[in-house]
Amino acid sequence: MKQINQLAKLISEAKSIVFLTGAGVSTASGIPDFRSTDGIWTEDRSREYYTSVDYYTKDPYDFWRKYKEIFQIKLLRNFQPNEVHNFIAELETQGKDISIVTQNVDSLHSLAGNKHVVEYHGNLNTATCPVCGAHYDLAYLMEHDVPVCTTTDCKTVVRPDIVLFGDPITKHSEAEMAIASSDLMLVLGTSLLVTPFSLLPSSAKQYGIPMAIVNRDPTPMDDLFDHVIHADLVAVVEQLKQLI
């Protein structure tokens, strides 16, 4: 495929690459795609309410029960990086300056070995007490149906370290800095439907760097990109590995 050959050439020649990644990167690891045409959110829009700041504030105990079910917390330790995560990590070991801005909350990019990962929506592996700031790891979250802060005299129900619906985004500036310091942008496995993440390709366009997107389905932002590939992401990565 001509587009894949061109993309392989861009990757080979680039010194600094920024990846914007979404749920499609993690589906090969068994993690559901929340926002594809047949994803979880389309099955039950109430999930947005149950993973919102408002619901955590209203009923933190039931929030945690639904949160663990929706994000399959019990299975989190079973998820491992797949061919796409490993491909990006290999580019870094080959000497390329790699930055990743990810919508995913599974921390698989870091587990694969990439060092500069901007977790745009936070991660599922930790939680923080909103009152005293104490931090808790996945092991503690797994031990308790409803994790409560153990700090003396606190006992507050902790909050997961993901961006809940209604939360502000705090990583946007860091993401834009990663884009500004790169000479190639690759967008992988995201529908680009969620703002302000969906605004990041426009930032890259302003810098005039080459831009490519690989996603199973068309996105509203496809016209911004120099190279657009609608195909299975793992299959595309396998072809790129043979060409680079």
Distance, CA of 54 to CA of 225 (rounded, Å)? 37
For the chain, strand residue ranges (E) read 16-21, 97-102, 117-119, 122-128, 135-137, 159-162, 184-188, 211-215, 227-230
User: In this structure, what are the phi and psi dihedrals at residue 227, rounded to the nearest 5 degrees?
Assistant: -135, 125
Q: Which residues are annotated as a binding site for Zn(2+)?
A: 129, 132, 149, 154
Place of tokens 């694969």: 112
Distance, CA of 65 to CA of 60 (rounded, Å)? 9
Contacts (Cβ under 8 Å, ≥6 apart) of 224:
201, 202, 205, 211
What Å distances lie between residue 210 and 6, 173, 191, 214, CA to CA?
A: 11, 21, 19, 14
Distance, CA of 123 to CA of 121 (rounded, Å)? 7
121 labelled catalytic:
yes
By the 8 A CB rule, do 79 and 108 touch? Answer: yes
Catalytic residue among 109, 116, 121, 230: 121
Give catalytic residue positions.
Answer: 121
